[in-house]
Amino acid sequence: MPAIDHRPIFHLTAPSGWINDPNGVCHHGGRYHVYYQHNPGANRWGDIHWGHASSADLVHWRDEPLALAPSPGDDQGGCFSGSFARVDGMPTMFYTGYTPQRQVQCVATSQDMIRWTKHPQRTLAEPPPGVEAHDFRDPYVFAHEGWWYMVLGAGQEHRRAQCLIYRSPDGVHWEDRGVLFAAPHARHGVMWECPNLFPLGDRWVLTVSLWQGPGALAWVGRFEGERFLPDHEMVLDGDSGAFAHLAMRAPDGRTLQWAWMNEQRDQGLIDLDGWAGALSVPRELSLDARGRLLQAPAAEVALLRGDAADVAATGLDQGVLHRFQGRHLDIEAVFEAPERGRQGLNLCAAPDGSEFTRVVYQPEMRRLSIERARSSLTREVSHQNLHAHLALDPAEALELRVLLDGSVLEVFANRRVCLSTRVYPQSAASRLGEVFSEGPARAQCAVWRMRPMWAGKRAAALSGPA
């Protein structure tokens, strides 16, 4: 057994085995549904099914039966990523059927969101000229101005990443409408996966994940004449390996997005734990007055807060300002207008200082980082630091919202930046938290112990010390 349990309790994981991309996220029949890429038989990628969890309130979740499984034919090698649409009122999943020879876009429908019927006669099989058969996947389908659109991840001759767009009058027959958007730069990769195009405020947002990573990109822009015109670009989750972001519209109009939080540890450690991969919490997306993308945990995440964790103020205005403890926490920390010196949080710290993870803002560099050099005593995990640019306005406070959940760490700063990753401290004693500042500072901090998101058996299995 590993020394410490890294399994999250309020981030979605599979009951066992492997999980990657969120798929087909939607609200239907009074429930939120999150499907996901899943290998039920092993802790590694392969034999890809669709797993499924659902919730009436985004707070309490239950596992549902497997939704899609590979079967002889187009998806015999795996049911790859895809999306949900209500076509003629019928819940419909568009997903990629995988075989080593080719990738084709498949369709399944359901009356109850649980049992899915495949429709092989509706398969979209042929990539357009110049697109290789293994670079043609992850359909995202949506309705707009009287048409159905399907956006696909692709690469042009496996040299330049691009999103393809198809159009349909009925959600059944599709017409190739060319390239929605091609990689502006070589650094954007040779092939994009999991494209997602959706309206937000008075703009549109396009997110894509870079084949072979490390991460995902978003552009805020416009969708005009079946083309996407970007205004500005951002790296999602600080290039951490968070991947395959997928958004949906909630019944109250909010845009909620999930992402896959990939493992950052060797297979040996994964096998000791017996599970792999998690999803982010649902994130609410919006735009600020300047058209910048804002990201924050959906309000419902705070409903999983349990007791307030004791936050002990040290009385100092420099060095360690507050102390708390825990491994499954929701933390709010506000630093008044930081001007100089590093400030932030130490998390998962051992009393002897041998392990700690640091969330740090450096005002002079306008940089937010997650430092993992000392996050784990073992070398079998990533120790790479992650960075994001964060320029505060004059007199603007640094507002951190940090979700720590076993090995999952999501950091939201002033809602403008989200950095997320995985950390794997090895010592059970590595559960101290500190608010620190190298220069004189005033900081407020509130910390809650989190409760499990699962109802029933899973909740019992997961509840341990916060």
- Single out the residue of 213, 171, 169 nearest to residue 188, CA to CA: 213
Question: What's the gap between Cα 436 and its chain centre?
Answer: 28
Can you read off the two tokens belonging to residue 111? Answer: 């009356």
Cα distance between residue 99 and residue 413, in whole Å: 42
Q: Give 48 or 150: the residue with its C-beta nearer to ligand FRU.
A: 48
Q: Which is the catalytic residue, given 21, 75, 273, 330?
A: 21
If one asks whether residue 405 binds ligand FRU (CB under 6 A), the answer comes out as no
If one asks whether residue 161 binds ligand FRU (CB under 6 A), the answer comes out as no
The β-bridge relationship of strands 17-28 and 275-276 is parallel
Q: Give 46 or 274: the residue with its C-beta nearer to ligand FRU.
A: 46
Q: 57 catalytic, yes or no? A: no
Q: What DSSP character marks residue 238?
A: G
If one asks whether residue 244 binds ligand FRU (CB under 6 A), the answer comes out as yes
Among 25, 48, 311, 349, binds ligand FRU (CB under 6 A): 48
Residues 176-235, interacting with ligand FRU (CB under 6 A)? 193-194
If one asks whether residue 264 binds ligand FRU (CB under 6 A), the answer comes out as no
Cα distance between residue 444 and residue 433, in whole Å: 14
Cα distance between residue 400 and residue 418, in whole Å: 10
- In whole angstroms, how close is the CB of 212 to ligand FRU at the nearest point? 9
- In whole angstroms, how close is the CB of 358 to ligand FRU at the nearest point? 29
Amino acid at site 5: D
110-114 long-range contacts (CB < 8 A, ≥24 apart) are: 112/29, 113/28, 113/29, 113/31, 113/33, 113/52, 113/54, 113/64, 114/52, 114/64, 114/65, 114/67
- In whole angstroms, how close is the CB of 257 to ligand FRU at the nearest point? 15
- In whole angstroms, how close is the CB of 132 to ligand FRU at the nearest point? 14
- Single out the residue of 415, 455, 355 nearest to residue 3, CA to CA: 355
DSSP string, 32-47: EEEEEEEETT-SSS-S
Residues 89-148, interacting with ligand FRU (CB under 6 A)? 96, 137-138
CA angle 308, 312, 316 (to 5 degrees): 145
- In whole angstroms, how close is the CB of 82 to ligand FRU at the nearest point? 8
- In whole angstroms, how close is the CB of 54 to ligand FRU at the nearest point? 21
If one asks whether residue 36 binds ligand FRU (CB under 6 A), the answer comes out as no
- Measured in residues, the chain has a length of 466
Q: Where do contacts with ligand FRU occur on this chain (CB under 6 A)?
A: 20-21, 37, 48, 80-81, 96, 137-138, 193-194, 243-244
Instruction: Please list the active-site residues.
Output: 21
